[in-house]
Structure 1
Amino acid sequence: MATDSAFAGAGKTAGLEAWRIEDLEPVAVPAAEQHKLHSGDSYIFLKTSEATTGLTWDIHFWLGKETSTDESGVAAYKTVELDDALGGVPVQHRECQGYESALFLSYFKATGLQYLEGGVASGFNEVKRDEYVTRLYRIKGKRTVRVEQVPLQSSSLTVDDAYVLDAGLELYLYAGKETNRLEKGKALEFISKTREARGGRANVTFIDEDPENAAFWDALGGYEAVSRSAESDERHENVVKKNTTVLRVSGSTDDNLQVADVTPSSGVLTKDILKTEDVFIIDVGNEVFVWVGKTASESERTNALTVAVHYLKKEGRPSHTPITRVVEEGETPVFTALFKAWTEPKVLEFGYQPSKGVAKMQDDKPVDVKAMVHAASQSEEDIGADLNGDGNHEVTVWRIEDLEKVEVPKEQYGHFYDGDSYIILHVVTPSSGKPTQVIYFWQGRSSTTDEKAASALLATFLDESLGGSPVQVRVTQGKEPAHFRALFNGTMIVHAGGKASAFTNRDDEDSYDTDGVSLYQVRGTNAKNTLAAQVDEKASSLTSGDCFVLVTPSKVYEWQGAGSSSAEREVASNIASILKKDRETEVVEEGNESDEFWEFLGGKDEYAKTKSSYEAPHEPRLFQCSNAYGYFDAHEIVNFAQDDLNTDDVFILDTYTTLYVWIGAGANEPERREAMALAQKYLAVAKSDGRGEGT
């Protein structure tokens, strides 16, 4: 079978390729446009993946709900053509608009699917600057969110989906009161990317902040109270399964194809049903599989999908029923799971050696060890020196709630929850000169992914609303720089819990400590850079080198570790005074704890002991070692925390008195070997800073 020139070079490298059927011919679709599908068209998608045995392929032909019979037929035929060009081994899938498979949808997790009206004739009209057609998009889905164009009218709105009104340089976001978090998050991302595509010139309006916005409702034909619910996101997840049917397709030419029902009377599928010289159609109710034997005739292979489609029509089944084509010895796990005791033959060629998964190395690029040692991390105090200097300081704090920013009452400034994300605007107005603006977005360690994404997007919107002049700084829990902590003048406290994520679950509730007992670890060297973080209220959380504040229903204890400094003890007193409210406080030195103190921590237990006398403090430094780019290299991670460790790489941790080499479980052999050698070289150079021979 001849191969269409449009498929030349297809499937050679990992990634996603797409073609649209135009004038009954496949035409390549640019990567940036692959998620935008026209309901009047048919498409072919090729997903190429890397495996230890080489490349693997999945071919999907996607049919719009308004596509013509000719176009859908060409898409099916050209899919077989592409399949043959790749040796006949790809897995084929038939996709219908609105009923796509989970595998197909997984390719668009970053962008979502965007359905557009029309077809080839209306799809790629010339676009002129600042000339836009007003459109309304619905953002809907539970697992993978789709963006679909809907009629431009207020009756299109529902209470449980998100919508974006695209009016060119004016963008509006409407979210129904029952919109789920993924839909809301995707709507924010969609609107952000739309603005980006227009050079950041489009204005964004959130309708929940201006529910009677005249321009929005006028574009939709007038205001209408929204009360209608859309059909369930899970409408296709509970398709009623029918009895299994097995059909055998055989014949050497198109004219003598025979279809026979070979369904086993027991209803149990065994591998010996399948014959290598034929094609089989297996209907399991919610999906149809087409299995192609290795020696099947060209006619059988070419017409297999057409036969499957005719079978669905004959049975009165929905046209969107998924059809997946697999080939012998290339069966998917989903397919083999249909059979009893499916076994795979393992054939190893002579001299076969399994791949170690190591990228091909480029010519040696030696790591500059001296630069590693002597290029000390930039001082936090230097970064924020101009921000914490003289002048008038104004701070505004917002918390992300239901993927929107909600201003925090001023009396709660400095109080953060590890399950939330926040946006902080700091404006410094010097006595002379122009104001300096900094936008921080702080992300709690337990904050949900959608809340973190919303904090970043909303920080960008805030930046642009202020003329694009502010500096944006991302701050993650545990990595707060000194200039950020100083904004709250020694009152920054991170509590456990937070607001429930936006519609993560309709039954979710806000999570806060409610038993009246909480333990805080205090960090800081002066009253300005103090930070206290809530830890598990148990004795093993204590460390001798730090101070802790234990809050109980009737009393607040200031626990002073034997190795803590006088500055740290003063800081702990400051935190205790904030947390005590109307409770009394009691200072407890390590070793003089009362029974009551231990009872609040669940009983006395072992905890970390640190030396009270140690060498002059040196900031620990962490270096990540990897050959992911084809050569071995190391780079420093500043303000690091445990979650910076990547199990695919090797890390060198310099604590001044000890040098650690941490090896991730997925690190390859060259990385392990090179990192150990680098650690030895690093240590030899590092001894010039005065550390002892015993390091």
Structure 2
Amino acid sequence: MTAVYFYRVLTGDDELDLVSLSKPYKQRQLSSNEVYILDTPCSGVYIWLGNDLDEEIKKNYYQIAQKYLDMKEYPSWVHVTRVAEGNESCTFKQYFHNWETIGATNSRMVSESDAGYFSGDAEESNAAGKLIGKSASARGYMPDTGEGIYTVTRMSGEEEDITDQIIEKPVLYDNDVYVVKYQYDDNGDEAYVIYVWIGANADPSDKAAGIEMAAQIDKEEEANVNVVKVPHGKEPKHFLAIFKGNLAVLYGSKDEEYKAQNSKKSYDEDGVRLFRVEGTELEVDMRTVQVPETAEVLEDDDVFVLETADKIYVWHGKESQETEQEAATNFVQKILGEEKDIITLNQGEETDDFWEFLGGAPEEKEDSSGWKLTLNRRVTTPLSLTAVTVSVTGKIDFEELPPEFTQQDLSDDGVYILDTGEELYFWKGKNIPERIRMAKDSIIEEYISDDGLDRTVDSAIVVSVRQGKEPAVFKKLFPDWDDDMWENQTSYEDIKNETKAANSK
């Protein structure tokens, strides 16, 4: 098994009839009066039983499982797990996009900041869940609080140091690539994070130039260096903290001298732009992102700024936070200016003019609170460590290690992926073969291509970590960490010499 498959089982006949369901797999595809089979490469086969199924089917589920194994010609040792509706494990849920978890309980280890979500109190759980869901990507990756020093290089046909410009007005454009070299103190040691931010419409040559520049810095610096690829729209919390929660991502390009644009290329005629403002904490993870000028993108839990030729509307979603509303005011002052009339609208108080600028009022959504869609992945996806091997012919194999993994599982001649469900840590041993070093992009692409989660090679946040240069935030993901572990281990050369000396006696 190398891919993930999801089937609805048609019960009632002697023959096993399966209806294949397409990705991304969603919780709402599961019906309480049906049987489903989830076939995974690492966790085996799951058979999901709805609560309203006939008791006879529930009791004899193993017959369905056996028919499935026979149909697929799987060996007898393939593990089959029975899953009852409402009692889905974290491992099962991780294969589904946006599993609704509000009010659910979870027994896995959680951080202190997430403890309120699992408190058992519905109001406290909902409030904590909202903070978890609305915080920035890779919220666990916080090497420090963002108080270090940084430089910013823009890749847009050529390298250009724009550090002073960004300090004055922190704006990135979707047609560019930016390399942010951030220096900080890591428990008394000098350390760096090299962020490569890749705009959604960046030229492939600029992407390659940015990645090459980061690799060169990594190679030249003696200090601890982590290289982090940041896709447009997936900015990590730490990345936003560097810019004190004032970062804005806008449409624009160097070829057009970064003039204001909108998605319809009509800004010069109508003066309309739309921006989403979201986050949980001022001066930390607030961010403003330009979005298409349509009412369909409005969400109950965010604040939106609609710029028109003579007015600026600040729209407060009914579930938005006061901090987001304040951040929207700051954005208007710093980026758009205050020359135009500013009108504040609460959700439900929109004027006809407001809707007209957005092409009309939106249709009612199934769920217009974006934070709920993000929450599931962040509280149900288990931490995992996977060993990677690359054969001389280029074949890539993965082996997921037991959940109780330790530092001792990391070998200096291997590559490992530590997966939090959002960011992937790509750990490289000092003695890895060149073929593995060169296969990094292929390894990441193959790793996530069939994992059942809603992410792609372009949207995944990848943190590159070298043996001996691990940041504290990486070490904390292991039960214990010994910086001298590899130094104290007997090397292959030592073993060979000892054996040779013993045999010569």
CA distance in 1, matches of 2:443, 2:254: 27
Q: For residue 333 of structure 2, what is the aligned residue in structure 1?
A: 192
SS at match of 1:246: strand
Q: For residue 289 of structure 1, what is the aligned residue in structure 2?
A: 425
Q: For residue 138 of structure 1, what is the aligned residue in structure 2?
A: 276
- 2:189 is the counterpart of 1:48: no
Q: For residue 202 of structure 1, what is the aligned residue in structure 2?
A: 340
Please state how far the C-alpha of 1:158 moved relative to its aligned partner.
4.0
CA distance in 1, matches of 2:427, 2:160: 28
- 2:239 is the counterpart of 1:101: no
- 1:130-166 residue CA offsets vs partner (Å, 9 max, x unmatched): 9894311121234523212222244444443222122
Please state how far the C-alpha of 1:186 moved relative to its aligned partner.
0.9
Q: CA 1:292–1:123 in 2, change beyond 3 Å: closer, same or farther?
A: farther
- Residue identity matched to 1:342: W
Q: For residue 333 of structure 1, what is the aligned residue in structure 2?
A: 472
Native 8 Å contact 2:383 2:421 kept in 1: yes
Q: For residue 515 of structure 1, what is the aligned residue in structure 2?
A: none
SS at match of 2:405: coil
Q: Which runs of 5+ in 2 are unaligned?
A: 1-146, 262-266, 486-505
Q: For residue 86 of structure 1, what is the aligned residue in structure 2?
A: 221
Q: How many residues align?
A: 323
CA distance in 2, matches of 1:68, 1:231: 33
Q: CA 1:221–1:189 in 2, change beyond 3 Å: closer, same or farther?
A: same
CA distance in 2, matches of 1:78, 1:303: 18
Q: For residue 244 of structure 1, what is the aligned residue in structure 2?
A: 384
- 1:575-628 residue CA offsets vs partner (Å, 9 max, x unmatched): xxxxxxxxxxxxxxxxxxxxxxxxxxxxxxxxxxxxxxxxxxxxxxxxxxxxxx
Q: CA 1:156–1:88 in 2, change beyond 3 Å: closer, same or farther?
A: same
Native 8 Å contact 1:49 1:56 kept in 2: yes
SS at match of 1:324: strand
Q: CA 1:258–1:291 in 2, change beyond 3 Å: closer, same or farther?
A: farther
CA distance in 1, matches of 2:443, 2:323: 38
- 1:568-579 mapped onto 2 (5 Å cutoff): none
Q: For residue 448 of structure 1, what is the aligned residue in structure 2?
A: none
Q: For residue 321 of structure 1, what is the aligned residue in structure 2?
A: 460
Higher mean displacement: 177-186 or 116-125: 116-125
- 2:302 is the counterpart of 1:161: yes
SS at match of 1:236: helix
- Residue identity matched to 1:187: A
CA distance in 2, matches of 1:234, 1:77: 37
Native 8 Å contact 2:174 2:202 kept in 1: yes
- 1:463-492 residue CA offsets vs partner (Å, 9 max, x unmatched): xxxxxxxxxxxxxxxxxxxxxxxxxxxxxx
CA distance in 1, matches of 2:304, 2:322: 13
CA distance in 2, matches of 1:174, 1:235: 21
260, 271, 288: which is aligned to 1:147? 288
TM-score (norm 2): 0.53
Native 8 Å contact 1:245 1:261 kept in 2: no
Q: For residue 177 of structure 1, what is the aligned residue in structure 2?
A: 318
CA distance in 2, matches of 1:135, 1:313: 35
- 1:111-126 mapped onto 2 (5 Å cutoff): 111=246, 113-117=247-251, 119-122=253-256, 124-125=258-259
Please state how far the C-alpha of 1:124 moved relative to its aligned partner.
1.9
Native 8 Å contact 1:94 1:322 kept in 2: yes
- Residue identity matched to 1:115: V
Please state how far the C-alpha of 1:58 moved relative to its aligned partner.
0.8
Q: CA 1:261–1:48 in 2, change beyond 3 Å: closer, same or farther?
A: same
354, 358, 368: which is aligned to 1:220? 358
Q: CA 1:206–1:315 in 2, change beyond 3 Å: closer, same or farther?
A: closer
Q: CA 1:87–1:333 in 2, change beyond 3 Å: closer, same or farther?
A: closer
Please state how far the C-alpha of 1:270 moved relative to its aligned partner.
2.8
Q: CA 1:167–1:140 in 2, change beyond 3 Å: closer, same or farther?
A: same
Q: CA 1:215–1:248 in 2, change beyond 3 Å: closer, same or farther?
A: closer
Native 8 Å contact 1:20 1:27 kept in 2: yes
Q: For residue 276 of structure 1, what is the aligned residue in structure 2?
A: 412
- Residue identity matched to 1:149: Q
- Residue identity matched to 2:196: F
SS at match of 2:289: strand
Native 8 Å contact 2:280 2:286 kept in 1: yes
Native 8 Å contact 2:175 2:202 kept in 1: yes
Please state how far the C-alpha of 1:22 moved relative to its aligned partner.
1.9
- 1:302-321 mapped onto 2 (5 Å cutoff): 303-313=439-449, 315=451, 317=453, 318-319=455-456, 320-321=459-460
- 2:160 is the counterpart of 1:27: yes
Q: CA 1:171–1:310 in 2, change beyond 3 Å: closer, same or farther?
A: same
Please state how far the C-alpha of 1:69 moved relative to its aligned partner.
4.8
- Residue identity matched to 2:341: N
SS at match of 1:329: coil
- 1:403-422 residue CA offsets vs partner (Å, 9 max, x unmatched): xxxxxxxxxxxxxxxxxxxx
63, 70, 82: which is aligned to 2:198? 63
- Residue identity matched to 1:53: G
Q: CA 1:123–1:104 in 2, change beyond 3 Å: closer, same or farther?
A: farther
Native 8 Å contact 1:38 1:123 kept in 2: no
Tell me which of the two structures has the higher relative contact order, counting C-alpha pairs closer than 8 angstroms and 6 or more residues apart. 2
Please state how far the C-alpha of 1:323 moved relative to its aligned partner.
1.9
Native 8 Å contact 1:91 1:326 kept in 2: yes
SS at match of 1:238: helix
- 1:441-472 residue CA offsets vs partner (Å, 9 max, x unmatched): xxxxxxxxxxxxxxxxxxxxxxxxxxxxxxxx
Please state how far the C-alpha of 1:339 moved relative to its aligned partner.
3.1
Q: CA 1:216–1:238 in 2, change beyond 3 Å: closer, same or farther?
A: closer
Please state how far the C-alpha of 1:184 moved relative to its aligned partner.
0.9
SS at match of 2:248: strand
CA distance in 1, matches of 2:347, 2:417: 54
- 1:602-641 mapped onto 2 (5 Å cutoff): none
Higher mean displacement: 53-62 or 182-191: 53-62
State the structure with more CA Rg.
1
Native 8 Å contact 2:387 2:414 kept in 1: no
CA distance in 2, matches of 1:154, 1:238: 25
- Residue identity matched to 2:319: E
- 2:150 is the counterpart of 1:16: yes
Q: CA 1:183–1:69 in 2, change beyond 3 Å: closer, same or farther?
A: same
- Residue identity matched to 1:337: K
- 1:188-234 residue CA offsets vs partner (Å, 9 max, x unmatched): 11122235xx4x53332324599566764554346x48965634225
- Residue identity matched to 1:39: D
Native 8 Å contact 1:64 1:97 kept in 2: yes
CA distance in 1, matches of 2:176, 2:426: 24
Please state how far the C-alpha of 1:116 moved relative to its aligned partner.
2.1
Native 8 Å contact 1:161 1:230 kept in 2: no
Question: What's the C-alpha RMSD, in Å, of the aligned pairs?
Answer: 4.0
Q: CA 1:123–1:153 in 2, change beyond 3 Å: closer, same or farther?
A: farther
Indicate the structure with greater helix content.
Answer: 2
CA distance in 1, matches of 2:470, 2:237: 17
Q: Which runs of 5+ in 1 are unaligned?
A: 1-12, 347-695
Please state how far the C-alpha of 1:93 moved relative to its aligned partner.
1.8
Q: For residue 487 of structure 1, what is the aligned residue in structure 2?
A: none
- 1:38-91 residue CA offsets vs partner (Å, 9 max, x unmatched): 334433222111456343111122233444555444433332122113237311
